């Protein structure tokens, strides 16, 4: 049986992540988002969380491109870890 040439096999696209327009991801219920961010992206399901924040799917409204967005919860970051950013 001949092997198929892998150049002709297309990868299967993953299904689109469901978008939660009402921001029901558990972490987002207690936090407000920047209005410019909310205007540009629809936020979807939570992908994971850790000690300092969480990651969600965000779909760009204009293009439909999905991105993983990490949110850092400021009050969880120790003051010794902050760095002053000067221009």
Residue ranges at the known binding site: 75
Per the document, the length of the chain is: 87
Hey, how many other C-beta atoms are within 10 angstroms of the C-beta on 22? Answer: 9
Q: DSSP letter for 26, please.
A: T
Known binding-site residue numbers for ATP: 75
HSE, CB side, 13 Å, CA atoms: give it for residue 61: 10
């Amino acid at each position: 049986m001949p092997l198929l040439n892998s150049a002709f096999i297309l990868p299967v696209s993953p299904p689109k992540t469901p978008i939660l327009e009402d921001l029901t991801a558990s972490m987002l219920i207690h936090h407000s988002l920047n209005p410019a961010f909310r205007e540009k992206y629809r936020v979807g399901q939570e992908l994971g969380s850790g000690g300092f924040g969480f990651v969600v799917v965000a779909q760009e409204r204009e293009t439909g491109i999905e991105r993983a967005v990490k949110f850092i919860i400021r009050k969880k970051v120790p003051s010794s870890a902050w760095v002053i950013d000067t221009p």
